[in-house]
Structure formats: structure tokens, C-alpha cells
Chain A
Amino acid sequence: MVLPMATAAEVGARIRDLRERTEMQSQQLAAKVGIDPSAMSNIERGKRSVKTDELASIADALGVSPLAILSPDSLLARMPVAARVQVAQLSDGSAVKRLTALAELNEVLSEGGMPPTHKLTHVPPADTVRWLETAIELADWARQRLELDAPSPDRFSNLAEAIENRLGIDVMVESYSREDFAGASITDWTFPFILVNQDQPTTRALFTLAHELGHVLSKGGAILTLDVNLTALTNWERFANAFAANFLMPEAHVNAIVKKQGREVGSLATMLVEFGVSFESLVYRLHNLALINAAGRDQLKARGWTGVLNELDDTSRRKALLDSMGSLPEHRAPGLLSDRVFHGYQQGVVSVRPLAGLLHVDADGLLDRLVRNQDSMEVLNTRFLGDQASELERYSGNPV
């Protein structure tokens, strides 16, 4: 594939454009990058070549990927600056940086002949005016498409897998060391991607996963969404919350449980276990479905799920409820992207490092195993990866 080669003038103009959109002065950018203001001016006017390290520094200062500067038609260039400015105001933009880096990887793999293949066809449209109605329609569509009506003990993992296999949307679960960050997504269907923070209870992570799925399916809001918490301040966020609630706790299913078990504590326990959601999500859902009033909602919130647990007589149901409420999600590498990266590694499009980074394993150890096993994909199985800590680290590659 012939890659586009941007001239100094084109790169300079792009830098100036991005700088002006962030309302930064040329001198300010020069100071951030650590170069002379006249050098920055010459770069912007195309009169001076930009060095490799300078390009990375300029892009970082502008809050974009270097590919947003070098390839104006790329997904990276389409990620709106405004969203990034908002992100920069947050204390920790690491999730956005991670998604940006993964979008870069996607770009390079696509150019190397390994494009993503989503399966997003016949998706019902969503809009911000009829947000509740369209959220319900889309949730019904997604549930049928994902075939998730039967309750399962590991709903989060099963849903993540189904989203990848049936919709072609990557799902990654990773630790971000801040509990208020829930998740993020790339809603552009050229590389649909969901990121869920591992540092939240599985019940909350499940709602986050469904919320981000709502963003991706609706292509709502920005190309890059970031949910620090799931409080809805815009109609797209309300849409995503309504989608998640309808998707995870279908009205018919809720009504069926209430009809069968009554408005008793056992019914709450059944719903918590079957839906796999947090107690708070369930209480809001019951209120939104008018099954409880505002006073009832607040009473239940005050009791909490431990209150429900304490009132349960049945030991097996107590255990089921405890099991469903107590865990954290496991790290999860994005399956579709990992496969593409593996093939990219085989083809020499990428090195072993991106693969190791996705799998959270040591790059040198992984390379050893791949070489020893003739690049067999079996090496990616946890059975192979699990023993690496115990293996003698005879030599550790130490670049620079």
C-alpha cells in the first residue's frame, strides 16, 4: 500500500489549524514543545522540516495523535478536538490516550491489509429527540441480535464475547486506577471499540458495557466518548442509560418476575442475580417502569443490597446473590484487535510489543514463546501465557 506523504507545507498548515482550534498561540505551543518560537513559526509555514521527536511533542501538546497531523483523512483526524479539550480538563486522560493509541494501531493494521470487520448492519436509527423511544427499539434489536435472553452466571463476560462475535465491536477491560472512570468508546464504525474500567464491581461494569454499547450502536455524540460516571447531562447520555437499562432489564422480564414472585424481597434478589446489575441500577429501573414510586425508590436505596441479603431466608439464594454482587471483572484483551495484531505480527506489520501490550504480558517472554512454537496462535492461550512468571529470565532485552 502506498502511504500518503505529507509535505512540510501540508503538515505545517495542519498544525496551525489544530492549534487555532484549541485557541493556543504559536508561542505557547513552542514553549510546550520546547523549541524556539521562530522554529515553530517556520514549521507552521512549511519552511522547516519537523523532527521525529518534535512531531510527537507537537501532537501531544495539541492533544492529538501525530497521525491526525500526518493523515487528515484518518480516523485519528476525525476524533474531534473539542472532545479532547474536555478530556484534557480531567485529571486523568489515560483512557483517552489509550484509545487514541489503539486507534493508531488500527490505522496501521488497516493500511497493512488487516482492516476491522464490524457486523453492524440493519441497526435501527437513534436520535436525541425521541431518545427514550429509540433507545428501547435499539435495545430490543440488540438483545435479539446478541441472543442473550437466557440468564447466565457470567453475564458480563458472555455479553462482552457476544458483542465481539455477533456485532464485531471490540471490548477491552483494563484497570485505570480510578473508580469514578466507568468506560469509554470509539463510536466510529470504521473501528468500533468499547473500553470498560476493570476497577469497578462487575455489576457496575456490566451497566457500563451496555451504556457504551448504546453509544457505539447509536453513533451518538462524539466519535470518542468518555464516561467518568454515568450521570446523564445530555440526551445522548440519557439515550445510552435508557438503552442500557432496557437492554439489561427488559420490561417484560421485570414484569414477569414481579408477577410471579410479587413485590417481595425474593423478587429483588431474583432480578439482581438474573440481570447481573447493581442494586442501584435495579432500583432506578423499577422506578422508571413505575413499579415503585419515588418514596419506595429512596427506601430501597437506603436499605441497599445488603438489606435484601439479610432478609433472604434461602441459603442458596443468599449465596447466589453474594456471588453476583461481590466480584470485579477480569482483565480482558480486545479479541478482534488481538487477532488482527497477531496476524500483523506474523506479516511484519507490527512487532510483538503491541500484542504483549494488549495481553498484558512481557514482550520478550511472548516473543520467546512465539519463536519456539513457530508463531502458533496457541501461544496466545492463557495456558501458554500463565507460566511465564516462573520461567527463568536468562536475558532481558534492555533497549537503550
Chain B
Amino acid sequence: MADPVLHDAVTLRHFASCGRLNICELLHSALPIPRWTEAVQGELQRGAGNGNADCSTVLVQHWLGAPIVPTTADQGAIYRLRVGLNGGAYPPSADAGEAESIFFAHQLGGLFATDDNAAHAFASRRLGPTRVIDSVDILRLAVRAGHVTAADAAASAIAIRAAGRHLRRVHPITLTDSYFK
């Protein structure tokens, strides 16, 4: 992968929750920036302010670099994406990070990493299915790149769930090493 990967807050928190943000770092720190957006950072800051330790862990990751900041001219397209993500509910405030990430992934020819079911499906249709990844995809890529073993990957995914967080519903209840090979 030589394209930037825009991380959604949910996915960064997944890896922070099991203490394995280093997997994302190993895999993505060599890729071009940006790696997250201003709104994703804002969501994590709010989460940290509410006492979520995994958010605080993400915020001190230097490899993420500076978040990309949209200009005013970008806001029309970003708000339309927010409406597309959650239109009909008012205000669609929870989707700013997802919308910015999809916008910049499209603009920069990059990938979007998210574990949110609806956002994943939506972005897959807009960006193409190969340009949207989730935590399991990241773990599989890390196995393929030799950064972790399949057993490590499975253990990380199980640890994410054990931390009370959720992988996308397409993944089975029982995760074995072979699922990550």
C-alpha cells in the first residue's frame, strides 16, 4: 500500500483498547500522511475529556502526525457526506470524523479504515470496496507483512472484543488463527 490510510476514531480506539496501536504504526507509519482528520482528533479529544483512556492513548501517538484540516471550500462536500451518513437525524453531529475521512480518502486516493458497519458499507460504495478496511483487514495485512503472527492477530481481535468493543458484524463469533492468514 502506497496510499494514505485515513483512520476513523473507532478503529484507532479498537487498537488502543487492546494495547496494540503499534500494529497500526508498523503498518501505516511509512505511508504518506495524512493518517487522521481534524474531526477524528476532535472526537478523540472529547472522548479523552470524558475519561476514556483509549482516546488518551491515541492522542499521544506521534506516528499519526498532524491531522488534515479541511478548508471552508471543503465543507459543502463534507456536510453532504454527513447527511449521506446519517441524514434525517438532527443534527448529524456524530459523523464528522467519518465524513472528513471519506472526503479526504476520496480526494487523496487513499483508504478509509473504519469498524463502523454503516460507514464501512457506505464508503465501500463511494470509494470502492478495496479502499475501505477494518481492524481485521489491518491485522491480516500486518500478518502478511510479517509484523505479527496470525496467533498475535487473533489474540488482538479477541482482546478488542474482550475490551467491550465490537468488530464488524461480518466477522464470526469465534476467531481463530486461520482467519488472519
Interface residues of A (CB under 8 A from B): 3-8, 11, 49-53, 55-56, 59-60, 66-67, 70-71, 97-98, 100-102, 104-105, 107-108, 111, 341, 344, 347-354, 357-358, 363-364, 367-368, 371, 394-400
Assess A102 versus B88: contact at CB under 8 Å? Given A111-B80, A397-B116.
yes
Confirm or deny: B173 has a beta carbon within 8 angstroms of a beta carbon on chain A.
yes
B122 & A350 in contact (Cβ 8 Å cutoff): yes
> Which stretch, B22-30, B65-73, B144-152, touches the partner chain A?
B65-73
Contact of A399 (CB < 8 Å), options: B74, B79, B90, B116? B116
Assess A367 versus B10: contact at CB under 8 Å? Given A3-B76, A101-B90, A348-B126.
no
Contact of A394 (CB < 8 Å), options: B38, B76, B89, B169? B169
A101 & B43 in contact (Cβ 8 Å cutoff): no
Closest to B93 in A: A56
Assess A101 versus B73: contact at CB under 8 Å? Given A52-B38, A349-B84, A397-B118.
no
Closest to B37 in A: A52
A350 & B116 in contact (Cβ 8 Å cutoff): no
B36-58 interface mask toward A, CB cutoff 8 Å, 1 = contact, 0 = none?
A: 00110011000100000000000
Residues of A within 8 A of B115 (CB): 397, 399
Closest to A4 in B: B76
CB distance from A62 to the nearest CB of B (A): 12
A55 & B117 in contact (Cβ 8 Å cutoff): no
How far, in whole Å, are A36 and B73 apart by their CA atoms in the complex?
22
How far, in whole Å, are A56 and B9 apart by their CA atoms in the complex?
19
Among the interface residues B13, B43, B91, B99, which one has the most CB atoms of the partner chain A within 10 A? B91
> 7 closest pairs, A vs B, by CB?
A348-B125, A351-B122, A105-B87, A101-B90, A397-B117, A8-B72, A97-B90
Assess A52 versus B99: contact at CB under 8 Å? Given A3-B76, A7-B73, A348-B125.
yes
Interface residues of B (CB under 8 A from A): 8-10, 13, 38-39, 42-43, 47, 69-80, 83-94, 96-100, 115-119, 121-122, 125-126, 165-171, 173
A358 & B169 in contact (Cβ 8 Å cutoff): no
- Interface majority SS (helix, strand, loop, mixed), chain B: helix
B79 & A363 in contact (Cβ 8 Å cutoff): no
Assess A70 versus B75: contact at CB under 8 Å? Given A3-B80, A101-B87, A400-B13.
yes
Assess A105 versus B10: contact at CB under 8 Å? Given A49-B69, A395-B167, A398-B165.
no
B84 & A364 in contact (Cβ 8 Å cutoff): no
- Interface majority SS (helix, strand, loop, mixed), chain A: helix
Residues of A within 8 A of B70 (CB): 49, 51-52
Contact of A395 (CB < 8 Å), options: B85, B121, B171? B171
B87 & A104 in contact (Cβ 8 Å cutoff): yes
Residues of B within 8 A of A341 (CB): 87-88
Residues of A within 8 A of B9 (CB): 399-400
A353 & B85 in contact (Cβ 8 Å cutoff): yes
List 10 A-B pairs, Cβ < 8 Å.
A49-B70, A52-B99, A351-B121, A353-B86, A357-B87, A358-B88, A394-B169, A395-B166, A395-B171, A396-B166
How far, in whole Å, are A285 and B147 apart by their CA atoms in the complex?
79
How far, in whole Å, are A399 and B71 apart by their CA atoms in the complex?
25
A352 & B173 in contact (Cβ 8 Å cutoff): no
Starting from the known contacts A348-B122, A399-B115, 9 additional A-B residue pairs (CB-CB under 8 Å) come to: A66-B79, A70-B76, A108-B84, A352-B117, A354-B84, A364-B118, A364-B169, A367-B117, A400-B47
